[in-house]
Structure 1
Amino acid sequence: MSYTDDERIRAKRRALYILAQRDHSKKELYDKLIKNYPPDLCEMVVGLMCEHDLINEEKYTEKLYRAYINKGWGKSKIRFELRRKGLPDSLISQQEEEYDTEDFIDEIMHLVDKKYASKLDFSDYKSVQRVTAALARRGFAYDDIKLALSRIKDGDYDEYDE
């Protein structure tokens, strides 16, 4: 279908306005444009934004992954959120490779020290279960949580003794 210059210009301006607020994935931009414009015009505008490097999903994935780790999220919650934003699995996997299990274990230990230390009593099974459940809700793997708690119990967390 052919669109007037005015329709194309309005759609491009809207896309530029949206991208000026913050970075977006192709899917996010498309989902915002589709509310006001026909599908093929939206696809054309999204393609144009990619051509001009105004949408760079690789940088966006990297930026979000780092931000979510800083929020104290685990790998599974981060993966879920990035998929929800429409980012490709290949880019998500690429980021996961850069952050190994040890990084997540360190993050768990830091979170426990910062947020859950007062609630954690290794002599009380329910206390350990509550902290484990809280960490699992943040998206950390059970095995990573178990290992981090084991290290804390053994006193093997010197960098958090500050």
Structure 2
Amino acid sequence: MAFTHNRRPLAEEEKSTDAAKARARAMELLAGQELSSGILYERLNRRFTEQTSAAVVAEMVEREYVNDERYAEARAHGLLAAKKSRRAAAQNLRQKGLSTQQIEQALEVVYTPEEGGEDPELEAAAALVEGRYRKKLEAGRRDLVVAALMRRGFAYAVIKEAIKRVEEE
């Protein structure tokens, strides 16, 4: 159950300029989870002025408490574990405010097959077909399986190979 705060957004003149409090809030936020610099800035900006928020984020980056490349790679690993396609992962990372270079680098690390290993994206698609869409496939509704995987962002070649794998088992 999610708890929501019914606080109204603070007006700019109500926001604090106290860097020590902003630093403490940043540490609270970062203690719970890895955040990108953009997300940390947005969250700090709810209570603190833009200048204070930017200064604290810059300090957190300098101290390496915040590292966008590390965040992008960790997030990409999580998205692959959630059986997301490379395309869906890229979109999610873009929504987190990461640069194109950071996104490409993270996806290259996470979604590139290891030497002699399987394609991680193909493995994710095959796992979805095996688990979630097997009954539809057995019922002869291959079209629904293809459509569902395409909506998830998988390329047709990956979908075709994933279905072929499951049918051969």
Q: TM-score range by the shorter chain?
A: 0.7 to 0.9
Partner in structure 2 of residue 74 of structure 1: 85
Alignment RMSD: 1.8
> Partners of 1:95 and 1:143 in 2: how far apart?
22
Q: CA contact under 8 A between 1:75 and 1:141: conserved in structure 2?
A: no
- 1:103 maps to a residue whose letter is P
Q: CA contact under 8 A between 2:129 and 2:162: conserved in structure 1?
A: no
Once the two structures are superposed, residues 22-64 of structure 1 have per-residue CA deviations (whole angstroms, 9 ceiling, x without a partner) of 1100110011011111111111110000011110111111111
Which structure has greater helix proportion?
Answer: 1
Q: CA contact under 8 A between 2:88 and 2:152: conserved in structure 1?
A: yes
> Partners of 2:31 and 2:108 in 1: how far apart?
30
TM-score, normalising length: structure 2? 0.79
TM-score, normalising length: structure 1? 0.82
Structure 2 residue 127 is the aligned partner of structure 1 residue 110: yes
What stretches of structure 2 of length at least 5 have no aligned partner?
Answer: 1-16, 114-118
Structure 2 residue 112 is the aligned partner of structure 1 residue 100: yes
Once the two structures are TM-superposed, the CA of residue 66 in structure 1 deviates from its matched residue by 0.8
> Partners of 1:38 and 1:143 in 2: how far apart?
49
Once the two structures are superposed, residues 85-118 of structure 1 have per-residue CA deviations (whole angstroms, 9 ceiling, x without a partner) of 1122112111222323722112211221122111
- 2:52 maps to a residue whose letter is L
What stretches of structure 1 of length at least 5 have no aligned partner?
Answer: 1-5, 158-162
Report the count of equivalent residues. Answer: 147
> Partners of 1:62 and 1:68 in 2: how far apart?
10
Identity %: 31
Flag the structure with more relative contact order, 1 or 2, with Cα contacts below 8 A and sequence separation at least 6: 1
> Partners of 2:43 and 2:156 in 1: how far apart?
37
Q: CA contact under 8 A between 2:61 and 2:67: conserved in structure 1?
A: yes
